[in-house]
Amino acid sequence: MKTEVFIAGGGVGGLALAAKLASRGVHVTVAEQLKSKSRAYKGELLQPKTLEILDRIDVLEQIEASGHIIDQLRFQEIKHCHGQEPESMQMTELNYSRVASPYGHALMVPHEMTKDILRAKAQEYEEYFHYLPGARFQGFEKGMAKVRQKKETLNIEADVYIGAEGRSSPTREAMNVNIKRKEYNHHFLTVTIPRPETFTKGKIITTTDCFLGLFPLPDNEVRTVYLIKAGEFKRIKEKGLEYVYRAYGDLEPELKQTVKAITDWKDIQLMIPYTYHVDRYVSGNLALVGDAAHTVHPMAGEGMNLAIQDADILGELLAWCKEENKDFHQYLHYYESVRKPRVSFLLALSHMSALVYSFPNPWWRKLRMRAVQRIYDDDQLHVKQMLNISGLGMWDFSLLDRAIQGSVLPPRRKTISDQKQLNRLFHEKEDYPWKF
């Protein structure tokens, strides 16, 4: 079997790449090991840059219709004593609208819905899109991809082979790259529960030692993420679901009743955060996208966004090579040079955000409260934070910024103009430099 681009893995990264390539007349074959939808939680927050990319693939309207808009992130610090209403100590709201872009919000979309929409888009170009469900990529043999489907072995020959298999990637193994894994002192419990119609804003509620992230989904549901100490899951399970009801109800009384919709521990997924980043994205005619190349701490909601953003750059590069009759191999290095520094930057940002919530000490909380409030009080910090997590651009924090955030210096009064931000946004020249 022959194809131009072979993609191992039909997750968000693989499917976004396939949709882009097929729509541009590049023949693509996707091998996905699963036969049907996965029930595992794998991230739902689509950042503004991802929305821009989905717009270019022409699926934004459907995505927007399937999502819940997150226009701001609320950080609430509370004091709570069991059995009493929590007392709000500080509420800071950071707004996506501070970024100078028409894509001024994020969107919560069920993960499988995003995949369905991308797959359906690719299927519109049936001449160029070949999807193999229940097909496990096993590695390479005689320069071809070896895929096992329904007890048969397929050998697929391609010009370029893409590893989009997620965290466990045979393509990565074949590339022999180096990875260093970093672990954290905490894990998360995550579960979707019903929400009252009035509960519409994304919110992170914290005490000295508790953390509850709440992100509304469509259909009056809310994704919840509750931080626990690493290795504590078994002990918490022994305490029964009552423990979860009480923990959630104490932190967010609005969810006191709806949390009881959890009736089985099977509904709750344990999430163990860790990070890694490969040293090379490309080797010969092999390339990695998404979690095969990097995994990020989930605190800043970036994992699936990085995968789709990788797919955009690589897809544009491969489509351009075909359109311009250029040799794929000579240009693949551009993909790594665009994406690797951006991913490193966001990995560091997500790691910092994780540390902010990693230590259950009153003095650490005090520092955190001041630092978060400073992001709101100082417009430059506010713009930088939202611009960076949006993926629309990159604007690093300076020493002066950090001194202001750490309350060593007072906040600036100046507002950052849209014009000033324009230099920090990614334009076509930064996204697709090989065209220039």
Residues that bind ligand FAD (CB under 6 A): 8-14, 31-34, 41-43, 45, 136-137, 164-166, 170, 271, 290-292, 298, 301-305, 307
- Shortest distance, CB of residue 338 to ligand FAD, whole angstroms? 17
Q: Which is nearer to ligand FAD, 131 or 137 (CB)?
A: 137
Give the nearer residue to ligand FAD in terms of CB position, either 41 or 129: 41
Contacts 24+ apart (CB under 8 A), 420-424: 421/99, 421/100, 421/383, 421/387, 421/393, 421/395, 422/100, 424/387, 424/393, 424/394, 424/395
* Residue among 166 and 411 whose Cβ is closer to ligand FAD: 166
- Residue 273, Cα to own-chain centre: how many angstroms? 13
Rounded to a whole number of angstroms, the minimum distance from the CB of residue 306 to ligand FAD is: 6
What is the smallest separation between the CB atom of 373 and ligand FAD, expressed in angstroms? 25
Tokens of 343: 């991913």
Tokens 């459907």 correspond to 62
Report the distance separating Cα 390 and Cα 421, nearest Å: 13
Residue type, 209: D
Which one, 357 or 376, has the nearer CB to ligand FAD? 357
Tell me how far, at minimum, the Cβ of 293 lies from ligand FAD, in Å. 8
Q: Which is nearer to ligand FAD, 76 or 190 (CB)?
A: 190
Single-letter code of the amino acid located at 138: Q
Question: Which is closer to ligand FAD, CB of 31 or CB of 259?
Answer: 31
Q: How far is the CB of 263 from ligand FAD (least distance, A)?
A: 21
Which of 209, 200, 201, 206 is CA-nearest to residue 228? Answer: 209
What's the min distance (Å) between Cβ of 233 and ligand FAD?
13
- How near is the Cβ of 257 to ligand FAD at its closest, in Å? 25
Among candidate residues 103, 115, 121, the one with its CA nearest the CA of residue 387 = 103
- 8-state DSSP, 2: B
CA distance 137 to 141: 11
Q: Considering the complex, state which of residue 154 and residue 367 has its C-beta at the smaller distance from ligand FAD.
A: 154
Q: For residues 104-143, b (16+ Cβ closer than 10 Å) or e, as one string?
A: bbbbbbbbbbbbebbbebbeebeebbbbbeebbbeebeee
